A and B are shown apart, each in its own frame.
Chain A
Amino acid sequence: MRTTHDENGVRAGPFGAGGRRDFLRVAGLGGLALALPSLLQGCSDTTAPPVDIGLDAEAQLHRYLNIPPTPVTIDLSTDIGIANYAYALEQLEAQFYFFANEFGRQALSAEENLVIRDIRGHEQVHSDFLKALLGAAAIPMLKTDFSTVDFSSRAEVLGTAQVFEDLGVAAYNGAGQLLESPQYLLIAGKIVSVEARHAAAIRDLLQPNSRFFAGDVVIDANGLDRAFDPATVLAAAAPFIVNPITVVGG
């Protein structure tokens, strides 16, 4: 389910070419938060300059690096389970945009960075809100793996964002009919249109002022967006999630 870099890999990870994350992985030092600043210095001889991500981001990075890949069960026969499915997707997006916002900056234009920054905020809000909504029933934090994404590449950052946004829209569209609670359906509706706004914006960055923002691959001849069932969505998301996920009740 995950792709691991070999030690000679020059593919830039979230933390720059041969960057911090790979360094941490190779050195087995992922758990040493206090060592991070000095490790950053240790990477300074790589092709990409080290990125100063600030103390708040360092703390968040530390959090993400230390998430245990706990097995997760999602029960699609209940609204709680559907909400956890949404929470999983929002966690995935929030973490992706955290990396994109911290480590993709040099690849993106000023305007593109503002879009990524805004979306990063929205996905964090969605994730935090769903966690609060679910309370004790919430699945744990997911451990993500974006090692296949080259965050120094504009095309890969925006292309991956497009995939996640289109997928998120299709996921919520497909999940609506599974919900029993009108309150949960309304919440899903409040979130999905924001995901669709993201999708259009990211697509407009990739192919400006074209039909691509709502292109014919995602919008059919009836003018309908895609709607995917959870199995399809989770299969597409699986390469980015380390935790084993068991789906029941589907």
Chain B
Amino acid sequence: MENLTIFDTIDEDLARTVSRRRALSEGSSKLAMGAMMLSAPLALAAMARSAFAQGIPQQITDVLNFALTLEYLEAEFYVTGVGTSGLIPADKIDVFDQIRKHEVAHVAFLKSVLGAAAVAKPQFDFTAGNGSGSGPYAGVFSDYNIFVAVAQAFEDTGVRAYKGQATNLMSNDAILTAALQIHSVEARHASMVRRCRGKKGWITRAITDIPGAQIVYAGEANTVQAGIDVTKVTVVGKGGGGRAVTLDAVTEAFDEPLTMEQVLRIVDPFIV
């Protein structure tokens, strides 16, 4: 029931954006593959060939469009940030330009896999103002501290979003593997962005110092994995040296997934 409540709060346009191209996906396979073969590396082409030869199931198309929407968000965010002079300190430009490069590549990659079934890029409002341009992160492209805080929230959300969809991709090995390969890149980004903020690269309990971002970290304090209370199968103590680990370490050692609905709720304020 909780999911229903959450889902009800999602901008209906956004929900439609993510699944709107449903009708197009099946008839476009040959066209998409043709485009792929012209430009893509061999491995990718082979992957697309196998994926489209089988016909991508609707469930997978929906997941990839969901991922594409998040990648559009991240790519435009970093393109804008890196392109805004005076925003990012000189010693951090390479970091954010590298992230920008990856997010732009993810967009291109997912679009190439989806072909004509790819959703269009939404309009974004990175102040989280739903298009007002005056949301809670109004200084996002003028104040580095806000920019990097929003970046952290996006990256940690991205990690959780991919993780939550992995099991929905199990019917296609190539696509599952590619999604996992993106997932770990997002995690590298998340760690680095957190470090740029003077934070640990990993998520301790469900703690965040970013206003309005508690929703991004909901559930991260979990210590039960696959039905096993991890605190009961390791030695929890003061940590530091020797054998024992801290309770914090038990929560940091596992990143938790988010459902598609939870993710859409998080990103909704950023979409016009």
Binding site for B on A (CB under 8 A): 53-57, 59-60, 101-102, 115, 117-118, 121-126, 128-129, 131-133, 169, 172-174, 176-177, 179, 182-187, 189-201, 204, 209-211, 213-215, 219, 221-227
Contact = CB atoms under 8 A, between A and B. Distances in A.
Contacts of A132: 228, 230, 233
A194 B180 contact: no
Contact of A118 (B177, B180, B200, B237): B200
Contact of B102 (A55, A177, A182, A214): A214
> Among the interface residues B162, B180, B228, B250, which one has the most CB atoms of the partner chain A within 10 A?
B180
- Chain B contact patch, size range: 35 or more
Contact of A129 (B91, B102, B183, B234): B234
A96 B202 CA distance: 20
A127 B193 CA distance: 27
B121 interface: no
Contacts of A172: 180, 184
26 contacts: A60-B242, A117-B239, A118-B249, A121-B249, A122-B252, A123-B253, A124-B243, A125-B253, A131-B233, A132-B228, A186-B163, A189-B180, A189-B257, A192-B184, A194-B255, A198-B201, A200-B191, A213-B98, A213-B192, A214-B98, A214-B102, A214-B192, A222-B105, A223-B102, A225-B184, A227-B180
B101 interface: yes
A81 B183 CA distance: 24
Contacts of A117: 239-241
Interface string B236-272: 0101111111100110111111000000000000000
B225 interface: yes
A180 B99 CA distance: 32
A211 B95 contact: yes
B218 to A, nearest CB: 15
A54 B256 contact: no
A200 B225 contact: no
A169 B184 contact: yes
A210 B95 contact: yes
Contacts of B239: 117, 121
A131 B230 CA distance: 11
> Among the interface residues B99, B246, B249, which one has the most CB atoms of the partner chain A within 10 A?
B249
Contacts of A222: 41, 44, 105-106, 108-109
Contacts of B246: 121
A191 B174 CA distance: 20
A194 B187 contact: yes
B139 to A, nearest CB: 23
Contacts of B234: 124-125, 128-129
B94 interface: yes
Contact of A196 (B102, B106, B188): B188
Nearest to A190: B254
Contacts of B183: 189, 192-193, 196
Given A122-B202, A191-B253, A198-B202, 7 more contacts: A128-B233, A190-B163, A195-B184, A200-B187, A200-B195, A213-B188, A222-B106
